[in-house]
Structure 1
Amino acid sequence: MVDESTLVVTIHRGPASEERLQTMPPPKVKEDRHHFIKTLRACHVRPLKSTRQDIPTAYHRMVGSHSFDGPWYTLSGPVVSELVKSARYYSKKQTFCHFTRRWVDFVALNHVKTGDTVVFSEVDKSEFEVKKV
């Protein structure tokens, strides 16, 4: 029911806006392995020793954040493998896990850049296969 106190709005989208609404399908990953997907930002690939890659909270909660409290992981990339260190940080409200030391070397050697979407698939407890999608 429409009366003088009701606002009726009709939105018409042109063909250009229809194209922007389309999204890419999610990448296909083997379901039998734990994995996470990251789209890399500038802070993940800058050529500084302090550069690090954050591990999604849902992932480190699923596998246990204790597994990222200092051990080294082998990241098998599209070009070469690299050994990177993990770290776990605490705040009052949240736990953060990252790949830290030598992550910047992995990025450089595998030609990973800002905007790339990569899938980290667990191979075993200390190794991830990293693929660009």
Structure 2
Amino acid sequence: MRRRWNDPAGAAERLRAIEIDRPELMRVQAQEITGMSAAVFGREVIENPMWIARNTEKTLPGVTYFKTADLARHFERMRDKRECAKLLYHYFYFSDEAFLEEYGKPKDVVFGPGTSMAVSVSGDGDEG
């Protein structure tokens, strides 16, 4: 069973507080700051189409670095249901060329095999 994690606002806030002093974080550091397990971080960040579409992590032998500001923006986007809906809309209705121009990556990279993504429409519409 998946471990539940639902604190994008807190994660963004904690990342914004340290982004000047620590512009890059190793994956383990990012997990600690955001309060995520390795599996949850993989699902919510690394495998998340919203992350893949907008960001790139720096991978060196044995370590992966993430820009702190990019992570903070990602968690802020996760709270905005419109961002997720917009990405799904672009996937289905943009041509391959238009999608590549918008995101700088092809559809099959952003939405790889087995990708799942859902948009929740409950609530007031401001947060996801």
TM-score, normalising length: structure 1: 0.28
- From the two aligned structures, give the one with the greater strand fraction: 1
TM-score, normalising length: structure 2: 0.29
